[in-house]
Structure 1
């Protein structure tokens, strides 16, 4: 008998010279591994090679799929074996039982009823007593029934596993097989994550560079230049198994992709939170991952040590939501979109487009323009644009004024912020609390009215038709009141955070002692939005009003409009 080849050996030889092959196929899924030694690869191999010897089958080649579900036919070994079948190189195909071939009624039926007979392949499923060279009426009836039972078993198993998975996810235990890059499983308790001292520093670098305004491509090039191992290769370097099937893990150890960086920047796990049920699969047959909306995620806060602070994470998410470059001017010095996503029109409220432009004479005419101007529908009446250089000058002056005031007279500046916040808080708070009390009183009153209507209906004082009509009217009103109560309660709770917001703003602005040059990081740390109004006046008397709304505290009341002849 010829020597036995495994699938790994087989890939090293010239397949064109092999024919009359006996495929010895073994499969073990993670779930089968729980059933004991009867389903182990070693036992399957031992049993099947006894058949090879007894039946004197030629050229046995062992194909093994270890850790693959039978509902998935995109397995490496079975795919290779079926390729040889379709090339006409296979004469025999043996498995321990039908479930090892697969747990799909349609796919298994296609192979056993169409593919194997078409290529004159003898099929043996040992434990099921199936041998295509020894057909009998019982087997022809039993085969499809057995395949259907295998698929039903897979469906039932999948349902049970999904239930266990859901319960585990809801308990707050991480359900990801591997922690995100930057963390490792605690060797003393695999359910806990601990900081990876090397990878965590890379994560911090990625967030800091994103916060400073670098694009994903620039961050990737920097990491590659500094020979920083990409996540999969890093796992190999520290002795862990790679989780990627890509050959680039070995060939391109420092090649970071935009997709990898984007995934890292969006992970809330770096805040110290466990995030479960971020994705799901369509069914037990279709294992493709589907992203779930954030409101369906299960987030458990402060379950492990954080790598990134909340402030940095929030700023980065805000910056990622805005387009920062024009493809034509991408990475060209002097044409950076410094105020990406922050500039709004004071007339229509829409965002301003960043329009990079360089004249034929080499002059920089980058500017911001209302996105609603010259729209065919709902056009904005504000025709102006403002040059980026002018906006930088105005914003720089206002930031210098605010930073200077906060530093030179911190006590009075803080007092002014508290008075400004309290004035708005008192005005809104009083009105909203009155409305909340009114709505809650009316909702309780409706409960009493409906109860009275019900009693009157039982006593025959009002008809069933009248009762239904009145109760529906009151229930609809109560539904609207509940919505209003919920909204007002949320607004009042938000107003109570104002004092904390002042403290947060003071912490941020204290980082800056002067404004020599605006940076992307400074602008996004301090400014929430910039509102530009339609200019008034003409030529030298032209005045444009620009309001700066700071993060956490909004607009400062003492800021005024300034003349500017660069606005149009």
Structure 2
């Protein structure tokens, strides 16, 4: 085909590089990838030798995949084409245009000809203006090879990332708030002392009774940088979908994300999300059992027992006391001893004085529960006296433990939990084996389809319950190991409050599991760590050490 010397094509060079191609940088200090600069030079040299082409625009998608055409600069270029501003598109080679051979072929063979657009791939020696019969075979083959290459790269990248996650390497783009990349190993996390202290404050305030709303307000009032602003202050080019203002502030949601993130206990959880394949970029959430979870992957900011306590508090009533930033000391802890319903706090005014009391809501609602009422002041006084007495007895038992052998009880408990986990794991494996065997029985005609489905659901339920039991045992073991590592087990909670002068929200949530109300103002205080306390008493009896310790029923 002869080229008309009168027509000058208004061309745009299109440059692209994906993250997987290796040169893309997240750094704000680097304007563009080296490959992008190289692509530009190749196209400029080519245009300099073409008298019928004038380069009028450039579109660059740096860091975007070639497996689809949902790229911002590509879409902008197509708008310019439809507006008649461009009638020629030049790329370095077909792989820079796209690696999805079906859509790439559709653009080259259908869309561009319909729009009157000349398409040139410099290194592939393809020019739609000089189209030949051989090109009709070569171009689709090259597009197919590019697509296959993309698929292979995707598989390798996924495999590499999965392997690194299993090895405990941090592979995400951005570190969690409170952590930085280690200077000598970018795949490991170290504590950011400035942000780490803020994380400790957030957990402490929650234990003291503050809600996420109050905590966010307090951080903003103190001028503490939000997680995204803190990252930017460190020179990190950070973007988030959660930000709605030019300068982000602390919000209740950002506080909740921190309070519920296990990373602060030293656990590294990765691989929660994935995409169906290299062509579909829609993100899906993987099943929890498929997540990568590495214990003790880095130094914790928060101890396991404090994290577990906060998770429980997040599920409880967190309404503030009137005129206070925190909830009432006993909020979410008082229950009816008969029906188990959470007791309700009522406030009345008598002769100008406010009076608060707790009662079972069912007694007033439908009379299904016997009436019981106790004033808040009297209840707090009684709970304080019980705590002071129980703390004294528990610390006496701790002294007896110290006389036997340092941390002997903790080591015994760890061994007991390891054995329990082993037994549960064997039980789960047995269920899985049985689940497989019933399928074989179905194939052999020994059971019907209905029996198979019923038995399959039964085994699945058992496996799920066992997995939950193992999870609880592992958390309990982690709490004990956390205590051993810090030379301070769960007993430190009671040691911390050995001279408890008054009842505070922090002392209640750290020591009390629940308070049960009974008629005639009788109450029962159930302490936290009931199993540990019972096991400690049993251990002391086994060691014949209880003679020096007063007998006491832990309740």
- Give CA-to-partner distance per residue, 1:327-373, whole Å, 9 cap, x none: xx898759946555545554555x538688889x9978786756999
1:411 corresponds, among 384, 396, 420, to 396
Counterparts of 1:125 and 1:177, CA distance in 2: 33
Change (3 A) 1:358 1:288: farther
Measure, in 1, the Cα distance between the counterparts of 2:354 and 2:103: 66
Q: Any gaps of 5 or more consecutive residues in structure 2?
A: 1-8, 25-32, 402-408, 410-415, 431-443, 447-451, 535-551
Offset at residue 100 of structure 1 (A): 1.2
TM-score (norm 2): 0.68
- The answer to whether the 8 A contact 1:400-1:514 is kept is no
Counterpart residue number, 1:516: 502
In the TM superposition, 1:27-426 aligns within 5 A as 27-33=16-22, 40-55=35-50, 56-238=52-234, 240-244=235-239, 251-252=246-247, 255-325=249-319, 336=327, 339=330, 341-344=332-335, 346-347=337-338, 349=340, 352=342, 382-383=368-369, 390=375, 393-407=378-392, 410-411=395-396
Does the CA contact (< 8 Å) of 1:23 and 1:94 recur in 2?
yes
Contact 1:71/1:284, CA 8 A, preserved across alignment: yes
* CA distance in structure 1 between the partners assigned to 2:479 and 2:263 by the alignment: 27
CA shift in 2, pair 1:32/1:335, >3 Å: closer
SS at match of 2:54: coil
**Cα offset for 1:114?**
4.8
Give the TM-score normalised by the residue count of structure 1: 0.66
Name the counterpart of 2:438.
none
Q: State the alpha-carbon separation in 2 of the partners of residues 371 and 151 from structure 1.
A: 67
Matched-pair contact (CA < 8 Å) for 2:15–2:61: yes
- Judged with a 3 Å threshold, the aligned counterparts in structure 2 of structure 1 residues 347 and 158 are, in CA distance, closer, same or farther, namely farther
Equivalent of 1:550 in 524, 527, 539:
527
Alignment RMSD? 5.0
**1:61 CA displacement:** 1.7
Alpha-carbon distance between aligned partners in 1 of 2:208 and 2:526, rounded to the nearest angstrom: 20
Q: More relative contact order in 1 or in 2 (CA 8 Å, sep 6+)?
A: 2
Q: Tell me, what secondary structure is at the counterpart of 2:188?
A: strand
Name the residue aligned to 1:507: 492
Query: Is the contact between residue 342 and residue 528 of structure 1 (CA under 8 Å) also seen in structure 2?
Result: yes
Count of residues in Structure 1 that have an aligned counterpart in Structure 2: 466
- The answer to whether 1:529 aligns with 2:529 is no
Q: Look up the SS of the partner of 2:313 in the other structure.
A: helix
Q: Is residue 209–residue 326 contact of structure 2 (8 Å, CA) maintained in 1?
A: no
In structure 2, relative to structure 1, the CA distance for the partners of 1:98 and 1:257 (3 Å cut) is farther
Counterparts in 2 of 1:324 and 1:493: CA distance versus 1, 3 Å: closer
CA 1:332–1:371: 2 relative to 1, 3 Å: farther
Contact kept? 1:105, 1:151, Cα under 8 Å: yes
Q: Helix, strand or coil: the match of 2:190?
A: strand
Query: Which digits, 9 at most, give the CA deviation of each residue in 1:387-430, with x for residues without a partner?
Result: 7x7366425412322214534895379889xxxxx9xxxxxx9x
1:183/1:200 contact within 8 Å kept: yes
Q: Determine the structure 1 residue equivalent to 2:29.
A: none
Listed as ranges, the gaps of 5+ residues in structure 1 are: 1-19, 375-379, 417-421, 423-428, 444-463, 467-471, 536-542, 561-568
